[in-house]
Copies of this chain bind each other. A is one copy, B any other.
């Protein structure tokens, strides 16, 4: 396949085209992914998540610059869950970031579509594979950190960076248990503001409660991304976490788990699509809706009847 060869040879245009095909599920997208797959497996993925206003875009931009200066090849994926309301400022930042980094051969892409076969997390995982096949050594994934989908997306990251920021309310509620588990590196950004030490101390205390012997000790570091303070240190921690995962065989394990999840999700979606088509084609659906609408039947019992009918059909 020409497109895949162009991609692998490093054509940014081919990468952009491949992503469009896959994101929008254009004809042949799945064949394209099959052809891309053998070229994957080398890129290291880094997720960055945190609440609105924590400065994720700027931090990702600064980390990207440091990595570029070290001669690393980079891709950036900015997750924009198809919100009906855009954060204008955020989009503006991203577009500016895009311009500046594109000149240094960094591939930046916003993802917001939710297609049929798995939606945003499916698309993210496929875009990662495309950038990987195109030779990007590091892929930074920026999410807005709201909702389960975003937590799921973070699962595609080998290292996960969780941002906090002083002033969002300093009680324990601002950092929920779930986020402590997914974070490999904790960053208190905007650390020139009052309360940064307090947030860092609180994070350290919470991490202390959960730590155990031969595990990765999650660091808590302070940054001022706008001033490029702490960014080198952050990049060091990313590299260290990567070494830790490789040396302990955890990277291999993580990736195998991810493959298992990927396969299961694809199967589930395909079956859901099939079932959906089957149901829509049944004459009895109209009749069932009438029964439920008139309260002679409830939707759950109806679903059970449909399932039995589908079983009989095979």
Contact = CB atoms under 8 A, between A and B. Distances in A.
A231 B38 CA distance: 60
A34 B301 contact: yes
Given A85-B176, A314-B314, A267 B293 contact: no
Interface string A33-76: 11001101100000001111000000000000000000000000
B260 A289 contact: yes
A137 interface: no
Interface of A is mostly: helix
Interface of A: 30, 33-34, 37-38, 40-41, 49-52, 81-86, 88-89, 91, 114, 119-120, 144-151, 168-169, 171, 173-176, 178-179, 182, 252, 255-256, 259-260, 262-264, 266-268, 270-272, 275-276, 279-280, 285, 288-289, 292-293, 295, 298-303, 306-307, 310, 314
10 contacts: A51-B85, A83-B176, A84-B182, A85-B179, A256-B289, A259-B299, A263-B288, A266-B300, A267-B306, A270-B307
For the complex of A and B, 8 pairs with smallest distance between CB atoms = A37-B298, A88-B169, A266-B303, A84-B179, A51-B85, A81-B147, A268-B272, A262-B299
